[in-house]
Chain A
């Protein structure tokens, strides 16, 4: 249901639902952001890494003798040095039964398994001096045959990346629901083979870490560009055998993350180890080439899929095979199989399909590691689904909107369990579909498309539905043994002058977490938002929690803040009641004033704080004013809060050059209660552009021998302002009833289906040529090949 009565706040609140700018973002406009690389501490050393130039090589010997003599060099460490103090990590989780992955150490030992694998770390007075010394390190390699293509890796005679495993198959799973054979019998069948290229996050701020170990106390202080500081507190403590209470991880300003900065990287572990061994602060900031060679990559799927449809356009069943190449091992601690798992479980989720079969194979290869990046699996699942749905529509002679109307889950079907087992509380698919139809002015753009086609201008219109996993419970990682928190904690304290400080475990990477938390706290406490200051990203300061992943900041962090705020309000009113000799239930807090049932101001929060802190002698005996509260909240009820929405894309394909121009993009999204529409819309727009980049430009290209060919910002194409369209965003609100706030996530919705919409739009444009394309990115060359303009 999506009517106002279901929205607990929107009509009655001052701050929740308000399009407020982010107060704390002002520092960026003055050059006063503070990113990890901006931080310098006394006696700090800089690190640089020697990396394996081959995709797969045995390391026979490493000689650092000459390099150690270089000016400014403090020390050079190799694999054996760090293996002495670091426990290996293994990227498996028990709920992915049978998965296997090679144990990892900070630096390669006998073997390097991708081009870029760190082999030695030089720490020196400056980064430039460390880099100078790299050139004098001598390594004796024996190059080994490389597994580059994931399908080749499955061959019986393929080289083995992890010899102990016996093959290159990291994980395989099958899903079967209903009777797939029956669904395909006597049905119209559409099918396609898809290729999804590798791309990567390209955060504007590269990965950066400053580790500072104090051997006198055993204290480790790490500043790191990450979205999950508590996870790293746990990792560093466990793998370096330190007291966790003595490990502090701070995420200062983070220049973009998008899922990429929550994985464990060899360099980060090596820097922490180097600081422990040297007793000096050590900093490492990746240069852009290192980012391309070591930041996790995303996607890399080959999908073969079939869809059965009745002649009336009723979808009957999906049959899917996904092979994904994830690099040499599975990423720690969240694994590299979540993406594939979500691909094979999300396909068809928006539709009334009960017959379903899918198989997933996750394969090791000698490329950089692949793991979770914004919208994990969703873009692949919805490109496959929505392409096939469009194909089915064409086969049975239906309009793309009409076939979706006939097959979507509808309001009478909730709660709903999908064929693959996902439990869905409530979606608004049909409402979003009709809204998109209206805001695109569909009839008009179709008419314009037909008119222009007669003049040799080829436009395409594409739509793509998504459902998105948000507010994840421990079902994601915790149940498989992963040390990944799905709950959050919040401390609120009233300052001596009656302002509020909020320390919360969700983190900020620019999406506006701190802003929405301030809005929620001000609302819940009943005070002026200008007096609320939110602190995040410091494991010494806030309770432990999940931080930022899988779209949980608003839904899980927001509910934590809401309940903490209500708790504090109750506490304040109790103290006020004791001071004023008035029953607490007759009092409330409005804009920082304690008011009675007649709305008369009895005292201000400032006065209450003053009394509580400076004249505690005036309070009733034995009743100190405890103006600090803590609250924790973890998702309960549905394992995930599924959101939904739909994208529309209007493109023009130049059939001479193969270049696609995106003219316009629309999104109708439903993330439940919207806390700040300004921020939701910008999350959607930014996400859309990352998906359009994947659709048209972005690809990590490898040579046949496993060399990354385009590891620079000049060669890897990031969408630019001049290539991107204006994006219209509309909201439908279906709050989750699992929380009082009702918010779900929105950060990945833009990326989840924009590439699918673009794919459908380009194919719509190409349909007049009887051509189609099922590979992204849809480069000009691939488009020209698709229409037969080049061989």
Chain B
């Protein structure tokens, strides 16, 4: 077993960080433990629940299924970075107003999935939003409020796009 720590350089939330990591360290544990970015959560550690989603070079990936060493040279955005950048402020507002979270444990992953679902523009149907969330478990809300919040943002963005109805 390769146990010698390896040096990795990862762009995390727009800042370059360098750390020595054990080869077996997951990206999720690296973010949480080594960098203190605890907004990324671990719900199943097998890629089923979606609580650990982060954005890797712009795509949502399960940070529990990836090793930190695999992220060497890549760019990772976590919920902290996305939130502080203002990129998802409309989603955050809609989630808050619609109470689209209860315990909050799935929320980081939900926002990252929601961001990806709406990345290509247009207004997905409720069915499509539900499909897009099928890799994200939520045990508290029953999902409807989350679907509502994402739909609200999709409509608002589309209206803004076309300078639509006032």
- Residue interface bits A720-736, CB-to-B below 8 A is 1, else 0: 11101011000000000
Q: Is the CB of B143 within 8 A of A689?
A: yes
Pick the residue among B107, B130, B145 that contacts A722 (CB under 8 A): B130
B84 contacts A724, C-beta separation under 8 Å: no
**Across-interface contacts of A206 in B (CB, < 8 A):** 43
**11 contacts across the A-B interface (CB closer than 8 A):** A21-B96, A22-B99, A25-B104, A29-B95, A33-B39, A34-B38, A204-B51, A205-B41, A255-B41, A689-B142, A727-B144
Q: Are A31 and B49 in contact (CB under 8 A)?
A: no
Q: At the interface, yes or no: B140 with Cβ under 8 Å from chain A?
A: yes
Closest B residue to A511 by CB, please name it.
Answer: B102
Q: Which residue of B lies closest to A688 (CB)?
A: B142
Chain A residues contacting B40 (CB-CB under 8 Å) are 31
Report the stretch among A163-171, A607-615, A710-718 that lies at the interface: A710-718
Per the 8 Å Cβ criterion, residues 43-97 of B in contact with A are 43-46, 48-49, 51, 78-80, 83-84, 92, 95-97
- The verdict on B123 contacting chain A, using a C-beta distance below 8 Å, is no
A31→B139 contact, CB < 8 A:
no
Rounded to whole Å, the gap between the CB of A21 and the closest CB of chain B is 5
A510 within 8 Å of B (CB atoms): yes
Of A89-97, A640-648, A678-686, the one with at least 4 CB within 8 A of chain B: A678-686
CB distance from A532 to the nearest CB of B (A): 18
In the complex, whether B18 has a CB less than 8 A from a CB of chain A is no
**CB closest residue in chain A, given B111:** A29
Given A25-B99, A30-B84, A204-B137, does the pair A712, B48 have CB atoms closer than 8 Å? yes
Task: State the majority secondary structure of interface residues on A.
Answer: loop
Closest B residue to A20 by beta carbon equals B99
- The reply to whether A31 and B80 contact each other, CB–CB distance below 8 Å, is yes
Bound-state CA distance A287–B164 (Å) is: 48
Using known A-B contacts A29-B83, A256-B140, determine if residue A21 contacts B97 with beta carbons closer than 8 Å. Answer: yes
Chain A window 257-274, contacts with chain B (Cβ cutoff 8 Å), 1 for yes, 0 for no: 110000000000000000
Q: How far is the CA of A750 from the CA of B104 in the complex (A)?
A: 20
A29 with B48, Cβ < 8 A, contacts A689-B143, A726-B144 known: no
B10 at interface by CB-CB < 8 Å: no
C-alpha gap A407/B26 in the complex (Å) = 60
CA distance A688 to B111 in the complex (A): 23
Report if B101 contacts A (CB, 8 A). Answer: yes
Which B residues are closer than 8 A to A by beta carbons? 22, 24, 32-33, 37-46, 48-49, 51, 78-80, 83-84, 92, 95-99, 101-108, 111, 126-127, 129-131, 133-134, 136-147
Partner of A31, one of B24, B38, B126, B142: B38
Least CB separation from A692: chain B residue: B142
**A203 CA / B136 CA spacing, docked (Å):** 13
A32 and B103 within 8 A (CB):
no
The answer on a CB contact under 8 Å between B44 and A686 is: no
User: Which of the residues A21, A128, A510, A722 comes within 8 Å of B140, measured between beta carbons?
Assistant: A510
Contact with B along A22-59 (1 / 0, CB 8 A): 10011111111111011010000000000000000000
- Taking a contact as CB atoms under 8 Å apart, the answer to whether B139 and A128 are in contact is no
**Which residues of A have CB within 8 Å of B146?**
721
Does the CB pair B137–A29 fall under 8 Å?
Answer: no
Given contacts A204-B139, A721-B136, 14 further A-B contacts (CB under 8 A): A30-B39, A33-B38, A35-B41, A201-B139, A203-B105, A204-B51, A511-B102, A685-B141, A686-B142, A687-B142, A718-B139, A724-B144, A727-B142, A750-B142
Whether the pair B105, A35 counts as a contact (CB closer than 8 A) is yes
Q: How far is the CA of A724 from the CA of B147 in the complex (A)?
A: 11
Say yes or no: is A224 at the interface (Cβ < 8 Å to chain B): no
- Cβ of A523 under 8 Å from chain B: no
A21–B94 Cα distance when bound, in Å, is 10
Asked if A690 is an interface residue, CB under 8 A from chain B, the answer is: yes
In chain B, what residue has the closest Cβ to A508?
Answer: B103
Nearest CB of chain B from residue A375's CB, rounded to whole Å: 14
A685-B104 CB under 8 A given contacts A30-B80, A30-B83, A288-B45: no
Task: Please give the distance in Å from A201's CB to the nearest CB on chain B.
Answer: 8
Q: Which of B41, B51, B80 has the most CB of A within 10 A?
A: B41
Question: Closest residue of chain A to B48, judged by CB?
Answer: A713
Whole-angstrom distance from the CB of A721 to the nearest CB of chain B? 4
Contacts of A33 in B (CB 8 A): 38-39, 104-105, 107
Q: Is A149 an interface residue (CB 8 A)?
A: no
Cα separation A721 to B148 with both chains bound (whole Å) = 12
Are A28 and B107 neighbours in the complex by a CB distance under 8 Å?
yes
The closest CB in chain B to the CB of A691 belongs to B142
A510 to B142 CA separation, bound complex (whole angstroms): 13
Complex Cα–Cα for A258 and B103 (A) = 11
Min Cβ gap B109→A in Å is 9
The contact of B139 among A256, A678, A682, by CB within 8 Å, is: A256
How long is the Cα–Cα vector from A205 to B138 in the complex, in angstroms?
11
